[in-house]
């Protein structure tokens, strides 16, 4: 069965700094007409950094949309045309003051596939050395190292809710902890 929807028309309804929102008219597989609101996003790169002592590098920052301080892995949006690998290296150093000699691609995720085209590229940082942070003028970030077993508990008790962190940790555990 062909499940593809055919775009009939598209209207830009919001043009922001980070996202664009479109209202698309589509023809469904059953030939019915419907509408889709689509958030267009350049995507992002996120980095899982685990030390030789099995500590996970997390950041804490206030997220306005949730009105709370949350734990996350370092991440950032891709600039238009930017390579995700380069963005991951940049974001790790900017947000945590760590420079990775190598990144291993873990997987890609679609964090909000119901209404957005965003892709987040997940990487594992290897052989990190400490440098300096380079926060954006509106970024206020605290870096913490948490033992891997404690991070597992944080996921289960709801302290760590960041989807990209949970996915990156899961991919890492599936690959390296049989």
Q: Which of 93, 137, 139, 142 is catalytic?
A: 137
Spatial contact of 8 and 27, defined as CB atoms under 8 Å apart: yes
- Active site includes 142? no
Residue whose C-alpha is closest to residue 107's, from 170, 33, 57? 170
Spatial contact of 124 and 92, defined as CB atoms under 8 Å apart: no
Residue whose C-alpha is closest to residue 56's, from 160, 148, 158, 171? 148
Q: Tell which phi-psi region holds residue 97, choosing left (phi > 0), alpha (psi between -120 and 50) or beta.
A: left
DSSP code of 115?
T
Residues serving a catalytic function are 137
């Amino acid at each position: 069965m062909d499940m593809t929807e055919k775009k009939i028309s598209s209207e830009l309804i919001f043009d922001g700094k980070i996202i664009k929102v479109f209202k698309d008219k589509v023809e469904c597989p059953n030939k019915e007409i419907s509408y889709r609101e689509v958030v267009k996003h350049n995507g992002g790169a996120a980095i899982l950094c685990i030390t030789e002592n099995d500590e996970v590098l997390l950041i804490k920052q206030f997220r306005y949309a949730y009105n709370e301080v949350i734990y996350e892995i370092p991440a950032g949006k891709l600039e238009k045309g930017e390579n995700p690998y380069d963005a991951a290296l940049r974001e790790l150093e900017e947000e945590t003051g760590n420079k990775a000699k190598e990144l291993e691609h873990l997987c890609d995720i679609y964090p909000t596939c119901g209404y957005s085209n965003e892709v987040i590229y997940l990487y594992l940082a290897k052989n990190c050395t400490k440098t300096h942070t380079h926060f954006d003028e509106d970024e206020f970030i605290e870096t913490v190292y948490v033992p891997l077993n404690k991070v597992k508990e944080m996921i289960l008790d709801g302290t760590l809710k960041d989807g990209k962190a949970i996915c990156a940790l899961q991919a890492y555990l599936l690959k390296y902890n049989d």
